[in-house]
Amino acid sequence: MTSSDLKVSSKHFISESPESTILALSGGIGGAKLALGLTHTMSPEKLMIVGNIGDDFAHCGLHISPDLDTMMYTLSGKSDPKQGWGLARESWTVMRAMEEMGGETWFQLGDRDLATHLERTRRLSEGDSLSDITTDFCHKFEIASRIIPASNDSVRTIVETTEGDLSFQNYFVQNRCQPIVTGLRFQGADKALPHPEFVKILQSPFLKAVLICPSNPFLSIDPILAVQGVREALQGCNVPVIAVSPIIGTDSVKGPTAKIMRELGLPVSATAVANY
């Protein structure tokens, strides 16, 4: 689906009633950009976003939730517009000090961004749920839309490659998506419970449509669908389910989607994404 197709579809499906809700499944920069666009065409409070948590990982003792943070920073207008992730007008004092000390710097964390991870980690250690923390952060960022993680349980994307199994961040950031992908699995997804609001909205008479954002279907959308019961609930909901493809022509707009499709033996096309 192209941007022009989305504009036509939005007139048909995103016509609001007082109670209508649009549900978006999202991960990465592409998903955050579409969500931002939606908030400009509808009442932001009528948009619920389910964020991918397969990218979450522990780094330098901190719990990092990259996709949730990218969504929060984007919708709050605080994201770095050039790189699409992290915060605008960021400083890097801690990373420079880490480099001087021989610490790990392959995953860049800005000084202000670190505050998000420090506070999240502190609250998780005290027993707060990831969704409650995310909700509180959204209030602090004055975000009207509802952002929830796909699950409060741990789901971790493992990328199977010709060089061995890699965690998502080791594949995506540390190795820059260079290893050849042979498969993927989502550790913990079979035991993870979907967020209660996720299940509730899929069964709600007020749900108007489900949008699958133009995120990487393998690395961002699959981890959401892998959570137990989600795929079945999505198939059973009685509203239009609209997938916006990250593929235009025979290449991806951004990121390794086309590369992964070729490596998995799939044709690189929007149709192949839809069939997948």
* Mean per-residue pLDDT over the chain, rounded: 91
Name the band, by pLDDT with cuts 50, 70 and 90, for residue 19. low
| CATH number (domain holding residue 17) | 3.40.50.10680
Query: Is residue 89 situated within a structural domain?
Result: no
8/134 Cα distance (integer angstroms): 32
Residue with tokens 């400009």: 40
Nearest Cα neighbor of 27 from 75, 66, 1 is 66
Nearest Cα neighbor of 95 from 122, 52, 59 is 59
DSSP 193: P
pLDDT of residue 2: 37
Name the band, by pLDDT with cuts 50, 70 and 90, for residue 15. very low
β-pair partners for 64: 57
47/2 Cα distance (integer angstroms): 21
Query: Is residue 12 situated within a structural domain?
Result: yes
E runs forming strands in 34-139: 47-51, 57-59, 62-64
Q: Is the pLDDT of residue 231 over 70?
A: yes
Q: Is the pLDDT of residue 97 over 50?
A: yes
Q: Is the pLDDT of residue 5 over 50?
A: no
Structural domain boundaries, residue 155: 3-77+142-275
Name the band, by pLDDT with cuts 50, 70 and 90, for residue 8. very low
Q: Is the pLDDT of residue 1 over 60?
A: no
Query: Is residue 189 situated within a structural domain?
Result: yes
**pLDDT, tens only, 186-207:** 999 999 999 999 999 999 999 9
pTM: 0.90
224/202 Cα distance (integer angstroms): 14
Query: Is residue 230 situated within a structural domain?
Result: yes
202/182 Cα distance (integer angstroms): 32
Tokens at 211, concatenated: 């949008």
Q: Is the pLDDT of residue 135 over 90?
A: yes
Residue with tokens 């498969």: 183
Query: Is residue 84 situated within a structural domain?
Result: no
